[in-house]
Structure 1
Amino acid sequence: MLVDLFENRLALALIVVLGVPAVLVLYIVAVEALLTRVSRRVSAAVRPWLWLAPALGFLGVFLVYPTLATIYRSFQNRRGDAFSGLENYVWFFTRSDTLIALRNNVLWVLLLPLLVVALGLGIAVLVDRVRYEVVVKSVVFLPMAISFVAAGVIWRLMYDLNPNTGTLNAALDLVNGPRVAWLSTSPINNLMLILVGVWMFTGLAMVILSAGLKGISAELLEAARIDGANEREVFRFVILPLLAPTIAVVATTVIIFALKTFDIVYVMTNGNFETDVIANTMYKELFANGQQGRAAAVAVVLLLATVPVMILNVKRFKQQEEVR
């Protein structure tokens, strides 16, 4: 049975790796052959859409259709055989546990980007053009090499109440401090979870902001210093305005992650002790409670929370393109 399963997976992998590109190549050849039979004006108008058709088809099947189906499902009952109107949404916005999850997501959205951008920018500025810059950046960026699940396991052990396992409580024991149940004491447990995300994302923010910092003309900074500006004024009035677009990119990326955070919370607390977030609520309603309608409603709420951030990001990108 294992041999058959392996052979089936191998066949599926060969189809994906070899079959899909072959089909796309045949599609392009067929399209070009058909376009040679029509006028140049018609082919010029039709060719872009025919080339985009496979990608649009994939987007429709794997993105648009699931989104519309989820929205449709959010208005149905648990069994999916009758419409329940706004009942699932009323449930979400009137339950204390779901409101706690919504509150925690707000905390993630506010604190995670602020801390990540501040630390990433601070490290990028402090280690810029020093001899050990590469070493520091490698160490700070290292957490990005592991998964969020692995990070959750690592930090769950570090937060353990037993000082023989928990690094933080072992440090408190050294100074005769009281042991703290970091993951079960509210509201400090939410902050400790957010710090795991900060540990993961600071390296990414540092690399991107450091690249933006190195793109600032050294002559411009020197001119500001010659005009009498001290280092604090150079940073505030020259570096920060020029880095604003890069900071916006980093902040947007982190905000989107904060909105849909799941792995860290699921691994470390599973939403217990008032640490639940929207994505984890959706997971529990779907797989633990079998409430597909409620899970779909939670997914739609999460989608609606993400859309404004994406719209702002697109507008900012268009403004940058207009300036260029």
Structure 2
Amino acid sequence: MEAATVSQGGKRPGRGRARLVPLLFLAPALIFLVVWIIYPTGWTIVRSFFDRDGGDFVAFDNYKDIFTTDTLQTAIKNNVIWVAVVPALVTAIGLIFAVLTERIRWSTAFKTAVFMPMAISLFAAGVIWRVMDEKDPSMGTINATLKVVDDTFGSGGALTTAQPSSPQLTGSTTSGFVLRKPVRAGGTAVLGLTAIPPADMPADARQALQPRPEAGAITGTVWRDFRPGGGRPGVVERGELGLPGVTVELRDPGGGVKASTTSDATGAFSFGDVGSGEFRVAIGSQTFSAPFEGVSWLGEKLITPAVMIAYIWVWAGFAMVIIAAGLSSISREVLEAARTDGATEWQVFRRVTVPMLAPVLSVVFITMIINVLKVFDIILSVAPQSSQDDANVIALAMWRTSFGGINDFGLGSAIAVFLFLLVIPVLALNIRRFKREEN
């Protein structure tokens, strides 16, 4: 019976059909693999040896340009910084979050909040951080927060700029304004200022008052010498507001500061028991300070750290979830045994938890290295055009060279091949790790 089922060629009927069926199922995937991966990869490698237009063979000139062009050197340097900083920080932050969420009651809400940035694209996340990093404190969230801190704890002056309202005062905002006429005990000093922006006027300013002489003391008033409809310079009039918080100094004839005080809501100040002799009354230069204008996060010096922070914000949730899953599989008996033996929480974390999480941590770390080497869209959305050269990375340089207006497809292909070669060792390491875990 068995011999009857064998054909004259010595093969069983239907064996070819049995081989054909799997090929039919694999054919769509193979077609897409060839069309979308193998062919483009091969053509990119070939194209990298030709010039901008693809007409002339230039050998390795494009690869030489990668290491000699300033913008591309900056891209390589930035990628090195990214690889050295971001994967380690993401893994460390994810580990800390994963451990902490085991000890808080609202861990679900915390995990949701941290993981939420993963629900949006990197480009959208970049747009969010582009707005947050704006230099103007009235627009950028980060600088608005810093301004609140600066206003609360800073030692800024009461005004930003001003000018003397009469020739009785001389000086500048950098050195202070000094009253020309010396003053003795029992005398008064009127310090009128003008050219003060309306926004600089303190909210608690009150009607300025003409100073009254006091025996043994020097009294005075510092005020905004301006009244709508006109007025007399150097004279305190109705409708003119005092300047509170102004630093007023009492200087000796040599210019040394003998005493200092600050004006009240009406601009009044007083120096008691000054003794004999003549003194000069002056407005200290510390009265004038520029307002907090914001940190230039999107400038050339801070743009790379700013983009890194945005990227870490997105991926910290991914690392937390993966590490938390590995942490939940650790035997609690091992941890309790370590605590029973007298280990502190830090020792348990460092000598037990972290070593047992080593395979999971390596997964997160290697994954982040691969992602960092390909980082592109978040830089494009965060960095303004003026600082993109300073925030440049290899993937962004490849896109800008090929499609960003330069249209040098030869050099762009060489950059793509260079990036591909950088990713291969990390992929090989990842595959080797998978094989080791299977065995």
Q: Same fold (TM over 0.5)?
A: yes
Select 2:107's aligned residue among 105, 119, 133. 133
Confirm or deny that 1:52 pairs with 2:26: yes
Confirm or deny that 1:194 pairs with 2:308: yes
Paired residues, what number? 285
- Please, which runs of 5 or more residues in structure 1 have no aligned partner? 1-34
Secondary structure at the residue paired with 2:14? coil
Corresponding residue of 2:394: 278
Q: Is this contact kept in 1: 2:401–2:411, CA < 8 A?
A: yes
Confirm or deny that 1:183 pairs with 2:159: no
Corresponding residue of 2:434: 317
Select 1:263's aligned residue among 370, 377, 382. 377
Confirm or deny that 1:171 pairs with 2:145: yes
Confirm or deny that 1:93 pairs with 2:67: yes
In structure 1, C-alpha distance between the alignment counterparts of 2:341 and 2:27, rounded to whole Å = 57
In structure 2, C-alpha distance between the alignment counterparts of 1:150 and 1:36, rounded to whole Å = 60
In structure 1, C-alpha distance between the alignment counterparts of 2:389 and 2:34, rounded to whole Å = 40
Q: Measure how far apart 1:109 and its partner are.
A: 1.1
Corresponding residue of 1:307: 424
Select 2:76's aligned residue among 102, 125, 143. 102
Q: Name the aligned partner's letter for residue 251 of structure 1.
A: F
Q: Name the aligned partner's letter for residue 296 of structure 2.
A: A
In structure 1, C-alpha distance between the alignment counterparts of 2:28 and 2:338, rounded to whole Å = 52
Which has the higher mean CA deviation after the structures are superposed, 49-58 or 64-73? Answer: 49-58
Corresponding residue of 2:135: 161
| Identical-pair percentage | 45
In structure 1, C-alpha distance between the alignment counterparts of 2:313 and 2:409, rounded to whole Å = 34
Whichever of the two has the greater Rg, that structure is 2
In structure 2, C-alpha distance between the alignment counterparts of 1:280 and 1:189, rounded to whole Å = 15
In structure 1, C-alpha distance between the alignment counterparts of 2:393 and 2:300, rounded to whole Å = 16
* More strand per residue: 2
In structure 1, C-alpha distance between the alignment counterparts of 2:68 and 2:295, rounded to whole Å = 32
Corresponding residue of 1:6: none
Which has the higher mean CA deviation after the structures are superposed, 299-308 or 263-272? Answer: 263-272
* More helix per residue: 1
CA RMSD of aligned residues (A): 2.0
In structure 2, C-alpha distance between the alignment counterparts of 1:185 and 1:174, rounded to whole Å = 25
In structure 1, C-alpha distance between the alignment counterparts of 2:148 and 2:103, rounded to whole Å = 37
Q: Is this contact kept in 1: 2:87–2:369, CA < 8 A?
A: yes
Which has the higher mean CA deviation after the structures are superposed, 59-68 or 49-58? Answer: 49-58
In structure 2, C-alpha distance between the alignment counterparts of 1:36 and 1:134, rounded to whole Å = 60
Q: 1:185 to 1:284 in 2, by over 3 A?
A: closer
- Please, which runs of 5 or more residues in structure 2 have no aligned partner? 1-10, 151-291
TM-score where L is the length of structure 2 = 0.62
Q: Name the aligned partner's letter for residue 154 of structure 1.
A: I
TM-score where L is the length of structure 1 = 0.83
Q: Measure how far apart 1:154 and its partner are.
A: 0.9
Secondary structure at the residue paired with 1:116? helix
Secondary structure at the residue paired with 2:298? coil
In structure 1, C-alpha distance between the alignment counterparts of 2:119 and 2:309, rounded to whole Å = 17
Secondary structure at the residue paired with 1:83? coil
Q: Is this contact kept in 1: 2:75–2:391, CA < 8 A?
A: yes
Confirm or deny that 1:290 pairs with 2:400: no
Confirm or deny that 1:116 pairs with 2:230: no
Confirm or deny that 1:241 pairs with 2:358: no
Q: Is this contact kept in 1: 2:71–2:389, CA < 8 A?
A: no
Q: Is this contact kept in 2: 1:172–1:178, CA < 8 A?
A: no
Q: What CA deviation, in whole Å up to 9, does each residue of 1:173-206 have, x standing for no partner?
A: 22335621111141x3211110100000000100
Q: What CA deviation, in whole Å up to 9, does each residue of 1:16-62 have, x standing for no partner?
A: xxxxxxxxxxxxxxxxxxx99434xx666776555434322321221
In structure 2, C-alpha distance between the alignment counterparts of 1:37 and 1:196, rounded to whole Å = 63
Q: 1:36 to 1:226 in 2, by over 3 A?
A: farther
Which has the higher mean CA deviation after the structures are superposed, 106-115 or 195-204? Answer: 106-115
In structure 1, C-alpha distance between the alignment counterparts of 2:344 and 2:17, rounded to whole Å = 61
